[in-house]
Structure 1
Amino acid sequence: MKSFLSLCLLSFLASFSSAQNKLPVLKANQPKAVIYEKDNGLKTDWNIDAKVKPDVYTVSKISTRKKVVTVKTDIDSIAVKLRKGEKKDFIILLKNKDSALTRIQSLPPKDFSKMSFKDTLKLQINEQNTIFVKTILNKTDTLLLNFDTGTSELVLTQETLKNKIKSTLKSGSNILQIGKKEYQNLNIYPAQLSGHGTDGRFGWDLFDGMIVELNHDKGIMVVHSQLPSHVKSKYSSLQMKYFNNVFLVEVDIKQGQSKNKSWYLFDTGYQRTAMLDGPLLNEQGFPADQMTTIKKVIMKNAQGKEIPVITSNLQSLSLGNVNLKDIPVQLLSQSRLVGGSRMNILGNEIIKRFNIFLDFQKNRVYIQPNNWVNHTYIESK
């Protein structure tokens, strides 16, 4: 019997070793590679390191059934098909001698729908279109934070970190209370700026696997474990597409006889209507340079870097089945790369015109026009 078990064990180990040896092999002469996510255009430069086993690349959250990821070296390439929560291993053979075990993985999807909670808190918005809520950090520090869907995790301004924080901050173990719920194991990142009048911002990923309702008519933010039953029949639905650690929705714009439909960063942290990439739109045949100029200004991003921006009049913009007309949009004269890709941004001066459900379980955005929908735009005053 012992002999039989030994043979079985040896057979298993031989099979396991054989399976390991049959991993796909990608050849490289240089210790650099590029990883492309086909569905969203995300491009990541990758250092090949044979000492890390496995060397793991985690893809953007998958919102559809699967995604294709292509890894390119200087002399070879491989395409990996990946489903939600799946991982695929392969070998990068560097100069025919160093084997780098590499893994492309998707994190398991989160879903709190089997739980039962509904956490309601006051949602405020100021004249600069910054939405914010009252929060408590590490059970000690009361902070006003912007809910910024164009970012992730927790970001505090340098002024807040220097002058307002009394609690002890620990990497990866901070607790943020929003309403009655506590969100744990958070890292904190510094920034020079945040939304007007706020101490910092938190991103959508705190609510991954949940439903977030933003109701400007009632002035409330609600975190749900399940999508309310009435939403699908009364709200327009938009597909989410994830790009690294943010998400995008499709937007239609029109100028004269020209139309353009593309994916926009859904960014409640951007205070204006929309930011358009002028060179990108011109390449796509959209006459961005023919829009009427309203004014020219210098803006600063979250890191304080100056960006020249032209405010122009866009004839129309459609989100779902709602069409908005004569929108003063910010037009970039130079493209700004985000994760190796150029993109347009949908800002909160448009987003606030809708009551919204952000479904981070089924990856949908549900919108319904609210009392803000016909308000005059700031740049039109």
Structure 2
Amino acid sequence: MKRLFLYLPILFAHTLFAQSKLPVIRATAKSVSVKDGEFLNKNSWTLTPSARPDVFTADRTREAKYVTFYTDIDSIRVQVKPGTRYNFVILLNGKDSCFTQVASAIPPEDKFKNVAATHDTIPFTLTTHDAIAVKAVINNTDTLMLHLDLSSFDVHLTRDAILKKTHLLVTQPDAIAGKVTPNFNKMAKVTRLQMGQVVFTDPPVSTTGSTAHEMDGRFAWNLFEGKTIELDYDKSLIIIHNNLAKIPKGYQRSKLIFNRSNALVRGSFKIDGKVYTGNFSMDTGSETAMIVDSGWVGKQHLPVDRLKLIKSMTFSDPQNRTFQSNVVLTPSYTINNFPLGNVPALILSSKINPAGYELNFLGNDLLKRFNMLLDLKNDFIYLKPNHLIDVKYKQSS
């Protein structure tokens, strides 16, 4: 998954070439496998000689780790720490120099030193499908509706919205007219993205085939790295704090956990007096309350067969194979010391794994009940119940 193109200053391209004796490895094929920490992604990286540099942003962590690039004939292993960058060259077929950089997802500490305290606001609307909808203007001309998705990364625009609502394909008139298939790899660059008072220059943008209901795309937490995101459902505001000296009363704190750049929070079920604790990704783009991975259920021995069955759901995969998942009613679920009763949970079939690895999700039918502070400088999450805390869950019956 090449969410591997985080934006870095253009200045680096000049400093890279000024360096001498960069490490060089060889390749005869464009596909490269990358091991990021303990996770190996086979043939996930494509060599691009024209990119100077081509930046691989390692999964976010505050711990030191190794990232290894495996070409078809060679390899290189580099250590990644917060704020670091490592440069090397992959020589393709003995002639094309692919300048490559492995970068930490966390910027250098000096980027955040002596930053004035500002509090920029982004108004939002909570849709009937529980999407946190924000009006966004790209390149000063095109208005789209994007939603905040805390389980995503970077900015993603739907191909349909790009074609019908933007000028990003202005150099492809036949595609706009419907005569040929658009080439989204050659669309114009998004140089400016504005949401409320917040403006991003050259944000990392890619295409997607799906997003929340009625949305043109989504934006993620990593745009605000090093800051605090305040999500206030009572005032319908996203507030971005450069520095937040004092946490308001009523919030409960817990550690924010990151796994493969997914922002996770700890949560616990209590069933028949026994507690089952796990990590949950915050999928604010989903209108469900909770999705639980079958692998985690098996390891925890969660007694789902003793829970009330609300309904069964049948899914089909691309090979037209069908399988079933159940929505059950969990008697008690606690997050940040706040207990919630009778939370509906979709228990995934063992054949469904949207993340590709074991991962549970909290959807916005649950998360919308809490105002949130997401501290991306110190990695803490603060929650406080809001006016939606007692509304009925959509899948509760």
TM-score, normalising length: structure 2: 0.72
1: distance between equivalents of 2:165 and 2:126? Answer: 22
Correspondences of 1:142-153 after superposition (within 5 Å): 142-153=143-154
Instruction: Tell me by how many angstroms 1:337 deviates.
Output: 4.3
Q: Which amino acid aligns with 1:135?
A: A
Instruction: Tell me by how many angstroms 1:256 deviates.
Output: 2.2
What SS does the corresponding residue of 2:253 show, helix, strand or coil? strand
1:239-274 superposed Cα distances (whole Å, 9 cap, x missing partner): 222233432121112222443222211111121111
2: distance between equivalents of 1:174 and 1:310? Answer: 44
Decide whether aligned partners of structure 1 residues 253 and 134 sit closer, same or farther in structure 2, where only a CA change above 3 A counts. same
1:75-120 superposed Cα distances (whole Å, 9 cap, x missing partner): xx9997643123579999xxxxxxxx99865245265461332112
Q: Which has the larger radius of gyration?
A: 1
User: Contact 2:55 / 2:102 at 8 angstroms: preserved in 1?
Assistant: yes
Q: 1:45 aligns with which of 24, 42, 66?
A: 42
User: Contact 1:118 / 1:222 at 8 angstroms: preserved in 2?
Assistant: yes
2: distance between equivalents of 1:167 and 1:34? Answer: 31
Instruction: Tell me by how many angstroms 1:129 deviates.
Output: 1.1
2: distance between equivalents of 1:210 and 1:282? Answer: 37
Aligned to 2:12: none
1: distance between equivalents of 2:191 and 2:53? Answer: 29
Decide whether aligned partners of structure 1 residues 191 and 103 sit closer, same or farther in structure 2, where only a CA change above 3 A counts. closer
User: Contact 1:116 / 1:225 at 8 angstroms: preserved in 2?
Assistant: yes
Q: Which amino acid aligns with 2:37?
A: E
Decide whether aligned partners of structure 1 residues 218 and 284 sit closer, same or farther in structure 2, where only a CA change above 3 A counts. same
Correspondences of 1:329-368 after superposition (within 5 Å): 329-334=345-350, 336-337=352-353, 340-368=356-384
Decide whether aligned partners of structure 1 residues 306 and 177 sit closer, same or farther in structure 2, where only a CA change above 3 A counts. farther
1: distance between equivalents of 2:227 and 2:219? Answer: 15
Q: 1:272 aligns with which of 288, 313, 327?
A: 288
Aligned to 1:97: none
Q: Which amino acid aligns with 2:141?
A: T
2: distance between equivalents of 1:375 and 1:33? Answer: 47
2: distance between equivalents of 1:258 and 1:320? Answer: 18
The alignment of Structure 1 onto Structure 2 pairs a total of residues equal to: 340
Correspondences of 1:303-342 after superposition (within 5 Å): 308-334=324-350, 336-337=352-353, 340-342=356-358
User: Contact 1:279 / 1:335 at 8 angstroms: preserved in 2?
Assistant: no
Q: Which amino acid aligns with 1:35?
A: K
The reply to whether residue 186 of structure 1 matches residue 185 of structure 2 is no
In structure 1, stretches of 5+ residues that fail to align are 1-15, 22-30, 93-100
Decide whether aligned partners of structure 1 residues 86 and 195 sit closer, same or farther in structure 2, where only a CA change above 3 A counts. same
Aligned to 1:206: 223
Q: Which amino acid aligns with 2:35?
A: I
User: Contact 2:36 / 2:58 at 8 angstroms: preserved in 1?
Assistant: no
1: distance between equivalents of 2:35 and 2:377? Answer: 26
1: distance between equivalents of 2:240 and 2:42? Answer: 36
Correspondences of 1:157-172 after superposition (within 5 Å): 157-166=158-167, 172=189
Q: Which amino acid aligns with 1:162?
A: L
1:278-317 superposed Cα distances (whole Å, 9 cap, x missing partner): 233113322234322101234799xxx9985321111211
2: distance between equivalents of 1:325 and 1:104? Answer: 45
Decide whether aligned partners of structure 1 residues 229 and 185 sit closer, same or farther in structure 2, where only a CA change above 3 A counts. same
Decide whether aligned partners of structure 1 residues 43 and 262 sit closer, same or farther in structure 2, where only a CA change above 3 A counts. farther
Decide whether aligned partners of structure 1 residues 47 and 194 sit closer, same or farther in structure 2, where only a CA change above 3 A counts. closer
Aligned to 1:249: 265
User: Contact 1:84 / 1:107 at 8 angstroms: preserved in 2?
Assistant: yes
Aligned to 1:263: 279
Q: 1:230 aligns with which of 219, 239, 247?
A: 247
Identity of aligned residues (%): 25
Q: Which amino acid aligns with 1:83?
A: K
Aligned to 2:301: 285
1: distance between equivalents of 2:392 and 2:118? Answer: 37
Structure 1 residues 318-327 or 157-166, which shifts more?
A: 157-166
2: distance between equivalents of 1:188 and 1:238? Answer: 31
Instruction: Tell me by how many angstroms 1:339 deviates.
Output: 6.1
What SS does the corresponding residue of 2:395 show, helix, strand or coil? helix
What SS does the corresponding residue of 1:279 show, helix, strand or coil? helix
User: Contact 1:258 / 1:286 at 8 angstroms: preserved in 2?
Assistant: no
Instruction: Tell me by how many angstroms 1:33 deviates.
Output: 6.5
Decide whether aligned partners of structure 1 residues 340 and 333 sit closer, same or farther in structure 2, where only a CA change above 3 A counts. closer
Instruction: Tell me by how many angstroms 1:356 deviates.
Output: 0.6
What SS does the corresponding residue of 2:222 show, helix, strand or coil? helix
User: Contact 1:309 / 1:332 at 8 angstroms: preserved in 2?
Assistant: yes
1: distance between equivalents of 2:203 and 2:85? Answer: 25
What SS does the corresponding residue of 2:270 show, helix, strand or coil? strand
Q: Which amino acid aligns with 2:272?
A: G
Instruction: Tell me by how many angstroms 1:180 deviates.
Output: 1.8
Decide whether aligned partners of structure 1 residues 336 and 105 sit closer, same or farther in structure 2, where only a CA change above 3 A counts. farther
The reply to whether residue 84 of structure 1 matches residue 82 of structure 2 is yes
TM-score, normalising length: structure 1: 0.74
In structure 2, stretches of 5+ residues that fail to align are 1-19, 24-30, 91-98, 171-186
